[in-house]
Copies of this chain bind each other. A is one copy, B any other.
Amino acid sequence: MIGLQGLPELEDGDDLGPLLADACARVGGLEPGDIVVVAQKAVSKVEGRVVQLADVVPSARAVELAGEDGDPRQVEVILRESAEVVRSRPPLVISQTRHGFVCASAGVDASNAKGPGTVILLPLDPDASAAALRRRLAELTGVTPGVIVSDSFGRAWRQGTTDVALGVAGIAALRDLRGSRDAVGYELRSTMIAVADEIAGAAELVMGKSRAVPAAIVRGVDAAGDGRAADLVMPRERDLFR
């Protein structure tokens, strides 16, 4: 894992491709098979997924879910980003986003934002964001990397966040071991490994929220494939926790 540093503060409309290509060049350039992991916030900023809370009028439901401690305008943005609220305990809202991800605050985040009273939303289509960045990096560097757009998600039952894949391009999201045999010859019956999430989590170890490293190269992991982030969403009929 190689952290990519030196990106400027990003603005709506910035072209991430050359900025990341330059950052890659500063650490020796991309190599075939590399995976570039980019923090969701960097992608959301250049895609203009930023909302000024001063412009938001909260609904009655947002006021209720915000409770004493939350900002009803921020909860209103969360509700607009949500297909369904899964759990709430004011001011905490766990919901399913329109992409299908179940996460806190529908991925809406104020920290590291573009100023007080500003929140950043998830990209509208993180797979498309990843695919566009992959094409752009290929044009600019001559190497076509895998790309992951990552974000920090909490987990049920476990403390702390781990970074997971919101969008992927050119890599498998899952490695399916069903039907393969383990080291002693038994069939592995139901093992699918969320490789894209593990790669996103590995990249976080060199990215770090407070160190101004919004991207990383992960090298030496064979994960080529044609996955989509939706592969990582548990189908409703198999979901025991909604």
Option from B94, B186, B201, B212 in Cβ contact (under 8 Å) with A111: B186
For the complex, is A80 an interface residue (Cβ under 8 Å from B)? no
Asked whether, in the complex, the Cβ of B193 is within 8 Å of the Cβ of A113, the reply is no
Option from B114, B183, B198, B233 in Cβ contact (under 8 Å) with A157: B233
For the complex, is A56 an interface residue (Cβ under 8 Å from B)? no
- Complex CA gap A174/B194 in Å reads 21
Closest chain B residue, CB of each to CB of A163? B198
Asked if A209 meets B193 with Cβ closer than 8 Å, knowing A157-B233, A240-B87, the reply is yes
B-side contacts of A235, CB under 8 Å: 159
A-B contact pairs, 26 of them (CB 8 A): A87-B241, A92-B240, A94-B240, A102-B157, A110-B186, A111-B188, A112-B182, A155-B194, A156-B156, A157-B234, A158-B234, A159-B192, A159-B232, A159-B233, A160-B175, A160-B192, A160-B193, A160-B232, A161-B191, A161-B192, A181-B210, A191-B209, A198-B202, A198-B204, A201-B201, A202-B202
Asked whether, in the complex, the Cβ of A198 is within 8 Å of the Cβ of B191, the reply is no
Asked if A158 meets B164 with Cβ closer than 8 Å, knowing A182-B209, A186-B113, A204-B198, the reply is yes
Asked whether, in the complex, the Cβ of A241 is within 8 Å of the Cβ of B156, the reply is yes
CB of A226 to closest CB in B, whole Å: 16
B-side contacts of A152, CB under 8 Å: 191, 193
B-side contacts of A158, CB under 8 Å: 102, 164, 194, 197, 232-234
- Complex CA gap A92/B237 in Å reads 14
B-side contacts of A193, CB under 8 Å: 152, 160-162, 204, 209
Given contacts A87-B241, A114-B184, 19 further A-B contacts (CB under 8 A): A89-B240, A101-B157, A102-B157, A111-B191, A112-B184, A152-B193, A156-B157, A157-B233, A159-B192, A160-B232, A161-B191, A161-B192, A162-B162, A162-B193, A162-B198, A177-B209, A182-B210, A183-B210, A195-B205
| Copy count, this protein chain | 2
A interface residues (Cβ-Cβ under 8 A, vs B): 1, 9, 87, 89, 92, 94, 96, 101-102, 110-114, 152, 155-164, 173-175, 177, 180-184, 186-189, 191-195, 197-199, 201-202, 204-205, 209-212, 220-221, 231-235, 239-242
B-side contacts of A221, CB under 8 Å: 205
